Amino acid sequence: MRTDQLSRLKTWFNVYTRSFLTGETLSDSPMVLKIEHTARVCDNIRHLGRSVDLAGGQLCMAEAIGLFHDLGRFEQYRRYRTFNDRQSANHASLGIDVLNETAVLDSLPADEKSMIIEAIRFHNAPALPGTKPPSSMVFLHLIRDADKLDIWKIFADCYRHHRRVEPAIVQHLPDLPVWEAKIVNAIMEKRVAKFQDMKCLNDFKLLQISWVFDLHFSETFRQVKKRGDLLAIARSLPDDPILRRAIAVISERLKAA
């Protein structure tokens, strides 16, 4: 992908996403959050891409994937007033529909268009397909790591500064002093917890820190440790022996990386 093609995609994205804004701060807040999230994910994916020696057209491809990874969130929220895929529609599929309907990628070579769509399709999947060539897998891994880094930042900043978390991004889960054993058990078994097991805000936090078992690049781990966002989320959990043991497993994973 050429830099001028990436620039055109960015212009299109800015026009498209701002068409969802109404000028009312409260109603626009979820959309603004996603616009800002996208910008930071693009920064993250460029940084991670350089760390694995991507350059030129490959780096432009990575940034285009970051640009469009959450495109479906805008239509999702307009239609359903939620970011909960289970209660609405898969936002990756919605984003692919938008790209196809608007034909914004049609001027790209077929292989580049296919790669962008494939990366969007799998960026939020529970697991990646095991049959893809390494040249494809690097982009799938990059977007998943870049996305996680910023999701952790969003939540950690709220907890550090005692700010109200946008209800839409915590899927309107109740803030209760409890947690699901299934999610804690996933961490103890060193695997990613499942969205369908969440019932309250603590479950959401635990699920997020379990993502450490689905990171792919050494630079991602370096950024996690440097930024401190993951452990800031962990520290916002109730002080309980069960949760302390789960957090210790996360800490050990970071130390080993």
> Max alpha carbon distance in the chain (Å)?
56
Ramachandran class of 193: left when φ > 0, alpha when ψ lies in -120 to 50, beta otherwise: beta
Token pair of 165 as six digits: 């978390």
169, 65, 71, 4 alpha-carbon torsion, rounded to 10°: 130
Kindly write down the DSSP assignment for every residue of the chain, as one continuous string: --HHHHHHHHHHHHHHHHTT--S-HHHHHHHHHHHHHHHHHHHHHHHHHHHTT--HHHHHHHHHHHHHTTTHHHHHHHHHS---GGGS--HHHHHHHHHHHHTTTTTS-HHHHHHHHHHHHHTT-SS--S-S-HHHHHHHHHHHHHHHHHHHHHHHHHHHTTPPPPGGGGTT----S---HHHHHHHHTTS---GGG--SHHHHHHHHHHGGGG---HHHHHHHHHH-HHHHHHHTS---HHHHHHHHHHHHHHHH-
Residue ranges, the chain, pLDDT below 70: none
Q: What pLDDT, on the 0 to 100 scale, is given for residue 164?
A: 74
φ, ψ of residue 96 to 5 degrees: the values are -65, -40
Q: What pLDDT, on the 0 to 100 scale, is given for residue 135?
A: 81
Convert the pLDDT of each residue in 118-146 to its tens digit. 999 999 998 888 777 888 899 999 999 99
Q: What pLDDT, on the 0 to 100 scale, is given for residue 161?
A: 80
Q: Which of 218, 257, 237 has the alpha carbon at shortest distance from 247?
A: 237
- Determine the Cα–Cα distance for residues 139 and 245; give it in Å rounded to an integer: 34
Q: What pLDDT, on the 0 to 100 scale, is given for residue 138?
A: 95
Q: Say if domain 3-148 classifies as CATH 1.10.10.10.
A: no
Convert the pLDDT of each residue in 85-104 to its tens digit. 988 999 999 999 999 999 99
Task: Locate the domains of the chain by residue range.
Answer: 3-148, 173-256
Q: What pLDDT, on the 0 to 100 scale, is given for residue 171?
A: 74
Token pair of 52 as six digits: 């694995």
Q: What pLDDT, on the 0 to 100 scale, is given for residue 178?
A: 96
